[in-house]
Amino acid sequence: MSEYTVPILSANTLPIGEEPSNGIFNMSANSTRRSFIKTSSAALVGTALSSSIAKRAHAGGSDEIRFALVGCGGRGTSAAAQIMETKGNVKLVAVADAFHHKAAGAVKKLKRRGASKMDVPEDRVFHGLDAYKKAIDVDSDLIVIATPPGFKPQQFEYAVKKGRHIFMEKPVATDAPGVCRVLESVKESKQKNLLVAIGLQRRHEPHYVETVKRLQDGAIGDIITQRVYWNGGGIWYRNRKPDQSEMAFQVNNWYHFIWICGDQICEQHIHNLDVACWVKGAYPIECNGMGGREQRLRGDRTKSQIFDHTFCEYTFADGAKLFSQGRHLQDAWTSVSEFADGTKGTANVNGVIQGEQNWNFEGERLNGHQQEQHDLIESLMAGEIYNEGEYGAKSTFAAILGREACYSGQVVRWDDLLAKGKDLSPGIDEYTMDSAPPSVPGPDGKYMVPIPGQYNPFA
């Protein structure tokens, strides 16, 4: 095989959307091993914490970390369980979700996992679109935010204002105003010396960390192109219930609505885009793309408005290219992976380099979702902080940039979109389950679907 041969693609399995494919408590034997990664992925700083936990944290780990869960779907419940799996003295003290049955269900599931690590009486089980405030107001050290991404900017902002450390799942927003709001809150979190962790877990997996370091050190020379993929078969759908308001239907089916999900490129493909930007040490300046709907719910626009396939060509300031595929198509080729091509070789960023000196990662491959919680809790117990908020927001925006290029069929520039991109959910801070969502079906019962050549990213 020559040094420029494209390696065979293989999928890296990860949970799809909200529902982890391996169940919320099915953790590998490797998941409890400590691998505290002191690299650019965590940007650790040996600084005493400014919140109440700093007064009682020490490396011995005997002091309690109280945490609240906002967003009780599969991913949120998994994150809480994984925090409970760490060696820290942790206690869940409150939960919140848009729906009471999900909040109560999470408490029941987590109690089966470890009742001794829970103190969640009925009056700290909150529901509604404003329930996040009630959970964050409970005396705690750490907030886990795992809600649909359209709601995250306001929830992150509130947690920062309350001086809480935060773990927030990706993506962190669905539009340019939301990303800007998160970036402003990140600045405040740094001023308050708060730990901010974002659920881009590949940055906590040793095989990715080592591969990226080698690539940045020149293992394949100058990187000219990268290729990233999240090609899978599909995602869940929840039928409308007779008594549901339109808002309740969309919040329960959040993956299918642009204002609250951001489309598949944001919700899932962000992982691969984040890896590419991490490898490059930069973010693209522009993107053009294409996409559409072929199979999504058999073309039924009364149920969903998102695309089922996208293709993007991102351009970096030095002219390097990033090619991206994201899709949900049954009976089609699947891959979840990232590749880099350089002047001296090529790499599968999952741990293989082919070039002047071939290399394969031979260490232990850890469960990234679990490892990011080991790193988070161990940092808090040691009185150290890191802040992943800026790259979490920028990687989210890279996905948004790609989506808007695919929706419009135009070349969209990063700076223009960040400054003038449309607000997908104006007035979101005041939404209730009785509010009209920002996108409602037309007289024919169908939702708007973006049409390339007609869609405007700025209006």
The Cα-based distances of 174 to 83, 261, 398 in angstroms read 26, 6, 11
Task: Give the H or E element holding residue 371.
Answer: helix 368-382
For residue 44, what pLDDT is reported? 35
What is the residue type of 221?
G
Q: Can you state the angle between helices 152-161 and 176-191, rounded to 10 degrees?
A: 20
Q: Where are the domains of the chain?
A: 29-202+369-388
For tokens 């080592």, name the residue.
Answer: 210
How far is Cα 137 from Cα 94, in angstroms, rounded to an integer? 10
How far is Cα 267 from Cα 253, in angstroms, rounded to an integer? 13
State pLDDT tens for residues 195-207: 999 999 999 999 9
Nearest residue to 204 (alpha-carbon basis) of 366, 16, 348, 13: 366
Positive or negative, the CA dihedral 274, 279, 281, 282 is: negative
For residue 459, what pLDDT is reported? 84
CA dihedral 59, 62, 64, 69 (to 10 degrees): 70
Residue 26: Cβ within 10 Å count: 10
Low-confidence ranges of the chain (pLDDT < 50): 1-62
The backbone region for 43, taken as left when phi is positive above 0, alpha when psi lies in -120 to 50, beta otherwise, is left
Query: How remote is the C-alpha of 283 from its chain's centroid?
Result: 17
For residue 20, what pLDDT is reported? 34
Please name the residue ranges forming H helices in 130-242.
131-137, 152-161, 176-191, 206-216
How far is Cα 406 from Cα 313, in angstroms, rounded to an integer? 10
Q: Which two tokens stand for residue 272?
A: 């691969």
The span from the first CA to the last CA of the chain, in angstroms, equals: 50
For residue 28, what pLDDT is reported? 37
How far is Cα 202 from Cα 217, in angstroms, rounded to an integer? 19
For residue 357, what pLDDT is reported? 86
What CATH class is the domain 29-202+369-388?
A: alpha beta
